[in-house]
Structure 1
Amino acid sequence: MNAKLHPLAVWGLVKEARTALEDDRPLLVTGALAETLEQELGRGGSPGAVTLRGSVEHAAALVRVLAGRPTEDDEQALRAANRAGVPVVAVQTGTESFDVPYVLATDVVVCRPGAGFPTEKIARVLAARLGESATPLAARLPVLRDPVCDALIESFSRKNGILGAAIFVPGADFPVLTLNQVRLVLRLASAHGIEVDQHRLPEVLGTVATAFGLRAVARQVLGAVPIAGWALKGGIAYAGTRAVGEAARRYFAASAD
C-alpha cells in the first residue's frame, strides 16, 4: 500500500496553528501571595500575559495559591474555574497538605515555607495540564516555553510510537505519523511565537522528507524481523518523532532570538 500525504491536510494544520497564535487569553493568578507568583511567572514575558484580575471564564488557565487548608473563597474560585472548563493548577503553601476540591492531585504543587515558589515545577504542571493549548501562553511567557516544548515532544513521540507499532499495513502509517510530526513542528513554532506561513512552509515539508526516510527504515525492519518488528517499528517512530521535535525546537529557538 502506497499511502500519500495530501497537501491540503498539511495546509489545514498550518491554518490551525496560525489561529492558535491569536489566542491572547492570560494566565490568571489569584489567592495568597498571588502578586509574588505573578511577577515570577511573568518575568521577561509580554505585558498582560499574566494577570491578577479578571474573569476566570476569559483566562487560559488559573493558578490558585492556597495558604493552608482551602477556604470558602478558594473553593468558590476553584468551582467557578471548573464550571467554566478552565484548567486549574493549585499551589499549596504551608507545612501541611490538604485535599484541594475541583483539582486533580497531579495538578497540585506543594510549596514549602521559606523555599520560595517552585516556578519551574509550576510551569511543568501547567504545560502538562494545558497540552497543545499551552502554546499561545508559551509564546508570551518564557518561563513556560521549555516545559511546553518538552511536553509536546514527549506527547507526540508517544503517540507516534504507539501508532507505529499498531499499524501493520506497509506504508499505511506514513500519512498519520507524518501529520503528527508536522503538527508537532507547528506547535513548537507557535510556542516560540513564530507564525508559519507560505514562506516558512518548506520547513514543514522538510519534516515530511525526514519522516519518509524514517518510515522506510521501519518497513525494512518489519520485513526482516516479522515477529518483533512491530516493537522496533514503534521504537523508530518514537525516536524519529523526538528527533524531529528536538531539531525543530533548536531551529525555532534560534529564529526567535
Structure 2
Amino acid sequence: MAKKGWTFARLLEVAGSGRDSLRGIDERLVIHVCVDPSCPRALALEVRDALRAERAGGVVEVMSLLGSPSAGAEQPDAAIVLPGSLDAAPVICSYARSGVPVAVVVEGALDAPALDLPEQALALVGVVAASSPEQLPEKLAAWLASAVDKSIALAANFSFCRDAVVDSLISQCAVENAAVGAISLIPGSDLPIMCANQAMLALNIAAAYGHGLEPSRAAELAGVLGAGLVWRGVARSLVGLLPGIGMLLKAGVGYGGTLATGNAIRLRFEAARSERAPQGEAPEAPEHAVLPTTPRTDDYVTIGG
C-alpha cells in the first residue's frame, strides 16, 4: 500500500508541475537594457535583435546609461548594461545592490568597469565578453539562464535562451535520477520516481517552447513511461551481467537515460518549430508580443555612431 500511495503522490506532483509550468509560460519577466550611446554598435544591435519578447509577459525596457529608472519603478528580473566611454559603474552597482542580476556586455573582459561592491552584490554581476557579435547570443543566453529565476518564462519569451534553459532542465533531472538509481533500497521503487521526474521534465520542456497542457502532452508522457521501462530493463540486464556494482550501473543508466529522453523531447519540439517556420526564417512573434519600450534609445540603431 505504501508503494501505491507513493506512486499516487508522485502523480499528483506531476500534475502540480504541469500547472506550474503553464503559469510559468506567461509569467511577467522584465529585463532592463542600459545603453551607452558610444558602446560597440555591433554588440548593441545583436542584443536588440535577440531581446524580442515572443509573449505578452516578456517586457524589455531600454534606457540610456545617462538616465536611470525612476523612483518606484518596477524592479527587473535582470539588467543588461552595454558600457562605452561613460562611467557605467554607478548604474551596475545600483542594480547589484538592489539584488538584481546584471550582465555587463563588452568586447573583452578588460573593458568591464571596476566595481566597488560587497562580495554578495558582486556575485550578481556577470561579464559577458564577446569579441564578435556572433558569439554574443550563446554567451548572453548562458548567463541569463543561470541568473534569472523565471527560467520557463525566459525560454518561452526569448528563443535564443531556449537551448541554455532546456540544457539546465535536462541536466538537473538527470542528476536527480542518477541519485535515485544509486540510493534505491526497495527493488522497483526507483521506476515510478524516475518516470515522474522525467514526466515533469517533459512538461517543463514543453513550457519552455511555449506549449501548455495540450492533448499532445498525454502522448509525450506515455512515451516517457515507455522509455523508463526500456531503461529499467537495460539496468536490470547490466546488473545481472556485472554483479557487485549494481548501484553505479543503475545511477549511470538513470543519468544517461534521462539525458537521452530529455534530448529526444527537445528534438521533437525543434522539429515541430522548424516545420511551422519558413525555411531560413525565424518564426514571427505573436501579435501580443511586447518589444523594447521606455525609452527605445532609437531602438539601438544609432548606437556606436
Which bin holds the TM-score, normalised by the shorter protein? 0.7 to 0.9
Structure 2, unpaired ranges of 5+: 64-68, 277-305
TM-score by length of 2: 0.69
Which amino acid is the alignment partner of residue 174 of structure 2? S
Alignment pair present for 1:9 and 2:13:
yes
C-alpha contact 2:112 2:127 (8 A) present in aligned 1: no
Which amino acid is the alignment partner of residue 12 of structure 2? L
What are the residue-to-residue correspondences of 1:31-180 with 2, within 5 Å? 31-32=35-36, 33=39, 36=45, 38-43=47-52, 45-46=54-55, 49-52=59-62, 55=73, 57=75, 59-67=76-84, 71-80=89-98, 82=99, 86-92=100-106, 95-96=110-111, 100=115, 101=117, 102-104=121-123, 107-112=126-131, 115-116=132-133, 118-130=136-148, 133-180=150-197
Report how far residue 71 of structure 1 moved. 1.9
Report how far residue 163 of structure 1 moved. 2.7
Instruction: Identify which range, 193-202 or 40-49, moves more after superposition.
Output: 40-49
Which amino acid is the alignment partner of residue 28 of structure 2? D
Distance 1:106 1:26 in 2: 17
Instruction: Identify which range, 9-18 or 122-131, moves more after superposition.
Output: 122-131
Larger Rg: 2
Alignment pair present for 1:201 and 2:201:
no
C-alpha contact 1:2 1:172 (8 A) present in aligned 2: no
C-alpha contact 2:152 2:208 (8 A) present in aligned 1: yes
Task: Please give the per-residue CA displacement for 1:75-125, whole angstroms capped at 9, x wherever unaligned.
Answer: 112212x1xxx444333456445555424389332244xx34722211112
Report how far residue 70 of structure 1 moved. 5.3
SS of the equivalent of 1:124 reads helix
Instruction: Identify which range, 215-224 or 61-70, moves more after superposition.
Output: 61-70
Distance 1:146 1:214 in 2: 25
Structure 1, unpaired ranges of 5+: none
Report how far residue 195 of structure 1 moved. 0.7
Partner of 2:250: 233
Distance 1:104 1:195 in 2: 34
Instruction: Identify which range, 182-191 or 96-105, moves more after superposition.
Output: 96-105
SS of the equivalent of 2:29 reads coil
Identity of aligned residues (%): 27
C-alpha contact 2:106 2:129 (8 A) present in aligned 1: yes
Report how far residue 240 of structure 1 moved. 0.8
> Which protein has greater RCO, CA pairs closer than 8 Å, 6+ apart?
2
Partner of 2:266: 249
Instruction: Identify which range, 103-112 or 237-246, moves more after superposition.
Output: 103-112
Partner of 2:28: 24
SS of the equivalent of 2:129 reads strand
C-alpha contact 1:182 1:204 (8 A) present in aligned 2: yes
Report how far residue 193 of structure 1 moved. 0.5
CA pair 148-186 structure 1, distance change in 2 beyond 3 A:
same
Partner of 1:189: 206
SS of the equivalent of 2:104 reads strand
What are the residue-to-residue correspondences of 1:201-220 with 2, within 5 Å? 201-220=218-237
Aligned residues: 249
Distance 1:160 1:238 in 2: 6
Task: Please give the per-residue CA displacement for 1:25-83, whole angstroms capped at 9, x wherever unaligned.
Answer: 233222434964541322584575433256452x3322233448752232112212x1x
Distance 1:46 1:38 in 2: 18
Task: Please give the per-residue CA displacement for 1:7-35, whole angstroms capped at 9, x wherever unaligned.
Answer: 33322221121121130323322243496
CA pair 240-79 structure 1, distance change in 2 beyond 3 A:
same
How large is the Cα RMSD of the aligned pairs? 3.1
Which amino acid is the alignment partner of residue 51 of structure 1? E
